Protein backbone atom coordinates (compact mmCIF):
# COMPACT_ATOMS: atom_id res chain seq x y z
CA UNK A 1 0.00 0.00 0.00
CA UNK A 2 2.76 2.47 0.85
CA UNK A 3 4.70 1.85 -2.35
CA UNK A 4 1.62 2.36 -4.47
CA UNK A 5 0.73 5.67 -2.79
CA UNK A 6 4.32 6.92 -2.95
CA UNK A 7 4.46 6.36 -6.70
CA UNK A 8 1.32 8.43 -7.21
CA UNK A 9 2.73 11.28 -5.11
CA UNK A 10 6.03 11.22 -6.96
CA UNK A 11 4.24 11.32 -10.29
CA UNK A 12 2.04 14.18 -9.13
CA UNK A 13 5.14 16.18 -8.15
CA UNK A 14 6.84 15.54 -11.49
CA UNK A 15 3.91 16.77 -13.61
CA UNK A 16 2.18 20.17 -13.54
CA UNK A 17 -1.58 20.68 -13.94
CA UNK A 18 -1.38 20.64 -17.73
CA UNK A 19 0.42 17.28 -17.70
CA UNK A 20 3.83 18.68 -18.72
CA UNK A 21 6.88 17.30 -16.96
CA UNK A 22 8.47 19.58 -14.39
CA UNK A 23 11.22 17.19 -13.36
CA UNK A 24 14.47 18.82 -12.27
CA UNK A 25 16.60 20.07 -15.14
CA UNK A 26 20.38 19.95 -15.23
CA UNK A 27 22.77 22.86 -14.80
CA UNK A 28 26.11 23.07 -16.60
CA UNK A 29 28.84 25.59 -15.80
CA UNK A 30 31.06 26.81 -18.61
CA UNK A 31 34.31 28.43 -17.45
CA UNK A 32 35.45 30.78 -20.22
CA UNK A 33 37.72 32.97 -18.11
CA UNK A 34 40.64 34.36 -20.06
CA UNK A 35 39.07 33.87 -23.50
CA UNK A 36 38.62 36.94 -25.69
CA UNK A 37 35.96 37.91 -28.22
CA UNK A 38 34.51 36.09 -30.13
CA UNK A 39 35.35 32.83 -28.31
CA UNK A 40 32.97 33.24 -25.31
CA UNK A 41 29.96 33.67 -27.60
CA UNK A 42 31.04 30.86 -29.94
CA UNK A 43 31.65 28.39 -27.11
CA UNK A 44 28.35 29.40 -25.48
CA UNK A 45 26.51 28.71 -28.75
CA UNK A 46 28.17 25.30 -29.05
CA UNK A 47 27.37 24.40 -25.43
CA UNK A 48 23.71 25.38 -25.90
CA UNK A 49 23.37 22.94 -28.81
CA UNK A 50 24.28 20.08 -26.44
CA UNK A 51 21.64 20.91 -23.82
CA UNK A 52 18.11 19.61 -23.56
CA UNK A 53 15.18 22.01 -23.47
CA UNK A 54 14.83 23.55 -20.02
CA UNK A 55 18.43 22.91 -18.98
CA UNK A 56 20.47 25.78 -17.56
CA UNK A 57 23.89 26.93 -18.70
CA UNK A 58 25.98 29.13 -16.39
CA UNK A 59 28.67 30.98 -18.34
CA UNK A 60 31.56 32.56 -16.46
CA UNK A 61 33.85 34.85 -18.45
CA UNK A 62 36.23 37.77 -18.07
CA UNK A 63 35.87 39.45 -21.47
CA UNK A 64 33.79 42.67 -21.14
CA UNK A 65 32.56 42.30 -24.73
CA UNK A 66 30.70 39.16 -23.66
CA UNK A 67 28.15 41.48 -22.01
CA UNK A 68 27.19 42.51 -25.55
CA UNK A 69 27.87 39.29 -27.47
CA UNK A 70 26.07 36.76 -25.27
CA UNK A 71 22.75 38.67 -25.03
CA UNK A 72 22.89 39.16 -28.82
CA UNK A 73 23.50 35.43 -29.27
CA UNK A 74 20.47 34.64 -27.11
CA UNK A 75 18.29 36.95 -29.20
CA UNK A 76 19.30 34.86 -32.22
CA UNK A 77 18.81 31.45 -30.59
CA UNK A 78 15.67 32.27 -28.61
CA UNK A 79 17.17 30.97 -25.36
CA UNK A 80 16.43 32.89 -22.16
CA UNK A 81 18.87 34.99 -20.16
CA UNK A 82 17.55 34.35 -16.65
CA UNK A 83 20.18 36.39 -14.83
CA UNK A 84 23.51 38.06 -15.32
CA UNK A 85 25.84 39.32 -12.64
CA UNK A 86 29.00 41.34 -12.70
CA UNK A 87 31.82 41.21 -10.18
CA UNK A 88 35.20 42.91 -10.59
CA UNK A 89 36.65 41.19 -13.66
CA UNK A 90 33.99 38.46 -13.86
CA UNK A 91 30.73 38.27 -15.83
CA UNK A 92 28.27 35.45 -15.11
CA UNK A 93 25.28 34.62 -17.33
CA UNK A 94 22.53 32.16 -16.35
CA UNK A 95 20.86 30.89 -19.50
CA UNK A 96 17.82 28.61 -19.82
CA UNK A 97 17.65 26.51 -23.00
CA UNK A 98 14.38 27.21 -24.80
CA UNK A 99 11.72 24.56 -24.92
Give the model's pLDDT for residue 14: 43
Question: Which of 25, 30, 35, 37 is the catalytic position?
Answer: 37
Per-residue pLDDT of the chain (99 residues), as tens digits, is 444 433 333 333 344 455 454 556 799 999 999 999 999 999 999 999 999 999 999 999 999 999 999 999 999 999 999 999 999 999 999 999 998
| Domains by residue range for the chain, with CATH | 25-96 (3.30.110.40)
Active site residue 37: yes
b/e per residue 57-80 (b: at least 16 CB within 10 A):
bebbbebeebeebbeebbeeeebe
Amino acid sequence: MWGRGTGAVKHALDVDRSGKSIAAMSETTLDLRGLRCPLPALKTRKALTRLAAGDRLVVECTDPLATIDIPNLLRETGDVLEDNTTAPGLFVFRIRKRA
